[in-house]
Structure 1
Amino acid sequence: MSATLPQDQPDHPKYGQNRTERKIYLIYDIFMIGIIIVNLFCLLSNAILMSNFAHWLFGMLQLDAILNFYRQELNPWVIITESWFISFLLIEFAVRWFIAIVRKHHQRWFFFPFIHWYELLAITPQLRFLRLLRAVVIGYRLHEMGHHVIPEKILKTLSFYYKLIMEELSDRVVMTVVDGVRHELNSSSTHRKIIHDLIDHHRQLFATTLAEVLQESLSTELKVQQNQISYQVGQVVNQAIEDTPELTQILRRLPIVGGVLEQRIQDIGQRLGENISRGLIQPFTQGSVQDPNQLFQHIADKISNINIDNQNLEKLVESAVYESLDAIEKQIQVKQWKIELEKYESARD
């Protein structure tokens, strides 16, 4: 573990403004990690040696004299040093708070104890295990600044178990919420109102989304197919003229010009059909996804404001809600930490 600062290390308010100050803060942080780990190790060892388990184990190993020596001679020193360490932590916390005020590390002078709440609680004997959290925070901060005081393997292991714990906790919370919603829908007589409120709350969003979808899909497709649609409509009009026997009979009675007029009327009819279809399609091809045209907006508003007091529609919405809850449960059952563990084991093999 090296205390050398990288040349490209960015300035940090905690580490001062020059290289000397940063090196002093760095050495101090490493010192704090060391004494916190030693303190917790001593307290843990003392708790074990003062327990009934230690009395049984040392008695079985016939080392009662060593255990008695520790309990009579060394245990009082552990208690005294713990008192000294608590006093040191109090003074150290107050000094750092004063430095934070002078250097204006935070926007308000009283923010410091709230930001470092775990340090304040760790001073009390009942919550001394939080001192390990402070050591981890210091180590992680140093690691981010380029000082690998924590071995990479240990850091990855801690990160893995942190993600595991957070994923399991979040999964339990989400499952509790999902079960609560499902129970409410199954047992409560007000679930119909809940579904109606859910739909009413999203009407505007549904209208906006539907208008954008219509503009993006229908408008684009109409632009592409406009000529083809116009041609087909013209063909339909042309065919309709041909299939009108009364008109054909009248034109054929006219000598010489009857056939010409019949052809011209068919051409005019086809052109008229094409122009009418283009005129009808044109309004639907205007606008953009960000600003849908008024026709699509009007259609979307009308659809979003439909009356939902319909049994089939309520069943449809209720089915969608239940399937959404089932999808959430299936997603929760996928354990990301297991996937990462399998990848790690596969890579190791």
Structure 2
Amino acid sequence: MRQHIRHDTIGWKLFLAYDIFMMFIIVFNLFCLCANALLMSNFGNWLFETIHLPQILQYYKDALHPWVIKTESWFITFLIAELLIRWFIAIIYKHHTRWFFFPFIHWYEVLAISPYLRFLRLIRAGIIAYRFHEMGYKVVPDSIMKRVLFYYRVVMEELSDRVVITVIDGVKQELDTSSSHKKIIHDLVDHHREIFAKAIAEVLQESLATELNAQRHLITNNVGQIVRQAIEDTPQLTQLLRMIPIAGGMIENQIQNIGQQLGENITQGLIQPFIEGNVQHPNATYQLISTKLSQLNIENQSLEELVESVVYESLESLKKQVAMKQWQLELNKNDQAEI
């Protein structure tokens, strides 16, 4: 059960103020570093020479640039201390299952300490902004937040698609080149025999039993008519009965009726075992049929080719599905909605 957090306590307000402070100094720090990189570059020299203000750039290099470097060192020291304090608090209050989970969960903060990975600090600022957004504080306008989330999904989908497609291609290559691919396929089939048997039993119960039950009266009537016609088409019996005066015709008709009824009853008895049960509990006949089918030996060239074809086509279908750009479909949908 999720614990309800009160938003009117002093602790919560301090936590909120600290998040705002961290988001501000991270953004400000990155802004200063970007501006410093621009001003210290050849482009900065060219720009200030073009606007005829080289003395301002020189003043920045002499007076302000050392302070930017010094404050960056202070900020890195602050980030290290702040991370260690939060890790210590997380251990005390058992925020995670294991004490050493904290640096792995906050990997982007650990890496962002490095001067070469400063851009990762934006992730923390973005997480803080998103947390405010979830709490109802519109730090970022909805339109910008929606666009940021869209591009985030684009990046994640492209990365995950590349990984999945590479894995599928690797599996296909392994099946093509490995001498043990038949064993892999056989193991795959053996692993799913029980599920295959259950599926066959449910399909038979759902389709064949339902259809037999619906056509039961028609089938029994047809069989009864066939038996009656067979009696009529037996000339020896007809000639024998007609030798009996007066009662011969009546006996012949009764025999035909009895034969018809007998055929109908036998057919009913044969159909009854196939229409009993339900999808959740198929009857014993279908369970026996499905079990026998699932135990088929696939040491047969035609069956092996069939199973291999199913495996390869399944992998290819999965690859096509993964390659489909969901973000592109969403973008097209949004474009059509705007028209």
TM-score under structure 2 normalisation? 0.90
In the superposition, relative to structure 1, how do residues 330 and 118 fare at CA in structure 2: closer, same or farther (>3 Å)?
closer
Q: 1:101 to 1:13 in 2, by over 3 A?
A: farther
Corresponding residue to 2:25 among 18, 35, 42: 35
Match of 1:3 in 2: none
| TM-score, normalised by the number of residues in structure 1 | 0.88
Q: What is the match of residue 107 of structure 2?
A: 117
Counterpart in 2 of 1:26? 16
Match among 34, 42, 62 for residue 44 of structure 1 = 34
Say which of 182, 188, 194 aligns to 2:184: 194
Equivalent residue for 1:308, pick from 283, 298, 322:
298
The 1:266/1:302 distance shift into structure 2, 3 A limit, reads same
Structure 1 unaligned regions, length at least 5: 1-10
Deviation at 1:206, TM superposition (A): 0.9
Residues 109, 124 of structure 2: 8 Å contact kept: yes
CA–CA distance in structure 2, aligned partners of residues 15 and 114 of structure 1: 26
- The answer to whether the aligner puts 1:325 opposite 2:318 as a matched pair is no
Counterpart mapping for 1:1-349 below 5 A? 18-349=8-339
CA distance in 2 between counterparts of 1:12 and 1:243 reads 82
Structure 1 residues 314 and 111: CA distance shift in structure 2, 3 A: closer
Q: Report the aligned-residue RMSD.
A: 2.4
- Stretch of structure 1 that moved more, 104-113 or 171-180: 104-113
Q: How many residues align?
A: 339
User: Which one-letter code corresponds to 1:195 in the other structure?
Assistant: I
Instruction: Give the C-alpha shift of residue 17 in structure 1.
Output: 6.8
**Structure 2 CA distance for aligned equivalents of residues 185 and 92 of structure 1:** 51
Once residues 251 and 13 of structure 2 are traced to their aligned partners in structure 1, the CA distance between those partners, rounded to angstroms, is: 101
**Identity fraction in percent:** 60
Is the 8 Å Cα contact of residues 210 and 275 (structure 2) preserved in structure 1?
yes
The one-letter code of the counterpart of 1:135 is A
C-alpha distance in 1, partners of 2:300/2:85?
69
Contact 1:15-1:26 at 8 Å conserved across structures: no
Tell me the amino acid that sits aligned with residue 190 of structure 1.
S
Cα-to-partner distance string for 1:97-141 (whole Å, 9 max, x where unaligned)? 444455554455554444323223323333322211111111111
CA distance 1:98–1:325, shift in 2 (3 Å) = closer
CA displacement, residues 205-237 of structure 1 (integer Å, 9 cap, x when unaligned) = 111111111111111222222222111111111
For 2:304, the aligned partner's letter is E
Alpha-carbon distance in structure 2 between the residues aligned to 1:138 and 1:220? 59
Where 2:215 maps in the other structure, the secondary structure is helix
